[in-house]
Structure 1
Amino acid sequence: MSTKNVKIVELNEENWYDCCQLEISKEQKEYIEPNAISIVQSKFELTLKPYAIYSGEKVVGFLMYNSVPEELDGYWVYRIMVDKELQGKGIGKAATKLMISEMEKLPNVKKIIVGYNPGNLGAHHLYANLGFVDNGDRFGKEMAVIKYINE
């Protein structure tokens, strides 16, 4: 599958329900909230920016990040997922690169941070391949990895 047609689109009335219908694998259920929870969260925490991930014209994933700095003086990625039927095809990596490009436009961004359970090997490989580093930061059961943005 080509990842040239991967794009991210802000969540809207046309794609939110498709995002709610996406599923993760059984192995990932303990690591990530359902997309519907994330979408509701974004309606109460207005600095969160939810996006649908498309491959061509089809919604295949969901991501969300915060548009204000938080812990560790960085901007946090809250969610990123690709439907279980399309995982392992490079869509998540392509969408994460697009998300990073969007986040780099935020004011004074020096760090992009994502937290994930150390047992989530898929997340570990994705973020390591994209230049996120583990400085030993931990938040409860999650480890936080950081991508430093050059000014």
Structure 2
Amino acid sequence: MSDLRLAELDADNLPAVIQIPPAVGEKAYVAPVAYSIAEAYVTPTAWPRVILDGDAVVGFVMANWDPDNEIPAFRGGIWRLNIADDAKGRGVGRFAVEEVAAEARRRGYDEITVLWNPAPDGPEGFYLRVGFQKTGELFGETIGTRRV
């Protein structure tokens, strides 16, 4: 993990990014990247980014910037975070969260949110370790909020 950076999704990195788990139909607590890309295509406020380590695709993060959304948890924050299996545990997820927080600050946000499944083997521990605090529930998921 020497050269982490975010890049816009493009024709060159698309084949690698859609291979990041979970695969369509695989049981997981986050949607497959292909689903997220389709959602970004029809959601003008979505902000999909590929996470690169040098030239290697190691993850995908999608934020949403919609300050007027009627649901406060959807005004600004992380919608999806997918990390390649061989990149897990190397700080890639933390890097992605920090990059979303930096983008939020650039856009004038004071906080970001994320929703996660409260299952025992879900991502709650990760989100709490990177600074989110539980602030409620929505659609059966936990809302996490982090000051930026």
Regarding TM over 0.5, the answer is: yes
Distance 1:121 1:11 in 2: 29
Aligned to 1:23: 21
Q: Which residue of 1 aligns with 2:88?
A: 87
The number of aligned residues is: 143
Moved over 4 A (4+): none
- 2:100 match: 99
Answer whether contact 1:10 1:51 (CA < 8 A) is retained.
yes
Say if 2:77 and 2:100, in contact at 8 Å, map to a contact too. Answer: no
Q: What TM-score, normalized by structure 1, do the two folds share?
A: 0.84
Contact 1:24 / 1:83 at 8 angstroms: preserved in 2? no
Unmatched runs of 5 consecutive residues or more in structure 1: none
Question: CA, structure 1 residues 103+29, in 2 after alignment: closer, same or farther (shift >3 Å)?
Answer: farther
In structure 2, the partner of 1:143 is 142
3-state secondary structure, aligned to 1:85 = helix
User: What is the deviation of 1:17?
Assistant: 2.2
- 1:119 corresponds to which residue? 119
% identical equivalent positions: 25
Gap runs ≥5 in structure 2: none
Corresponding residue to 2:34 among 15, 36, 44: 36
Q: CA RMSD in A?
A: 2.0
Tell me, what secondary structure is at the counterpart of 1:59?
strand
2:60–2:83 CA contact under 8 A, matched in 1: yes
